[in-house]
Amino acid sequence: MNEQSFLADRLRSGTPVVTGWSVLCVPMIAEMMARGGYEAVTIDMQHGMYDFASACDALAGIALGGAHRIARIPIGDNALAGRLADMGAECLIAPMINSREDASAFARAVKYPPEGDRSWSPFRAAMLSGQSIEQYRKGANSQTLSLAMIETREAIDALEDILSVPELDGVFVGPSDLSISLSDGAQLDPDGAATAKVCAAIAEKAVKAGKLAGIFCLNADKVREAVQQGFCLISHGIDRSFVGDSIDRARREVDEIIPARRS
């Protein structure tokens, strides 16, 4: 990614972007994901271990590694969305958005007036994007993206209203929570056919409304499916899994030499 490359431009061009997903509070790992070839890395502050200080360090590391910077906020923490935008996040993802009111309040938190209510102090964001303060001011509302997560029956029922929010840039599907909600808690089935059908319908409606569509994927087959469905921001690969899988593989390599023992 060069200094004047913006995630918003890439996604609006229709070219899919794959983002790595970081939940471990280790900014260097987020940077390594960026250096490893991910076009974007998402810092997860909903289910991940990041606090504000470590998220700021991770955003800087991602920029240093040459990738785009995304952050998912905790449920309802719109104030944090604005702070993370100030610290250089190019895209904010908000979980459990279930109404037009939820979507509007979130989206307005990351847009400057008159489109929103974001307060002015983007000095770190300008630095990480390679812009002057004035350049950042002129492009901030179009370059800083807001994506509302669609992951409940309530959100599906309110989808058209959510997509009608002018300040909102798009939606991001959480298939795991969506599958739980659709089954009334009976099963976790993010990769199932019923879940996939609903995900495809969400993407179709988002694109038709002129919005961006993103989704969380658990394997490469689902990434392929997501591209075919019209999603442009696709998550694949979690740092926690990378570390866990490497530990398991390293231990298995020597099991025949020195069997693992637990006291």
At residue 263, the pLDDT reads 59
Q: Compute, in degrees rounded to 10, the torsion defined by CA atoms 96, 99, 104, 110.
A: 10
At residue 4, the pLDDT reads 52
C-alpha angle 162-93-98 in degrees, rounded to nearest 5: 35
Which of 85, 83, 94 has its CA nearest to residue 171? 94
Whole-model pTM: value is 0.95
At residue 125, the pLDDT reads 98
CA distances from residue 244 to 28, 192, 240, 258 in whole angstroms, order as listed: 17, 25, 6, 20
Q: Which two tokens stand for residue 210?
A: 């002129």
At residue 24, the pLDDT reads 98
At residue 258, the pLDDT reads 87
Q: Any idea where the domains of the chain sit in the sequence?
A: 7-250
Q: Which CATH superfamily is domain 7-250 in?
A: Phosphoenolpyruvate-binding domains (3.20.20.60)
Cis before 113? omega within 30: no
Beta partners for residue 238, in sequence order:
21
At residue 256, the pLDDT reads 83
Q: Which run of H or E residues covers position 245?
A: helix 239-253
At residue 1, the pLDDT reads 43
At residue 237, the pLDDT reads 97
Q: Which residues in the chain come in under a pLDDT of 70?
A: 1-4, 262-263
**Alpha carbon distance, N-terminus to C-terminus of the chain:** 49
How, if at all, do strands 40-44 and 91-94 pair? unpaired
Which of 14, 4, 27 has its CA nearest to residue 136? 4
Active site positions, annotated = 47
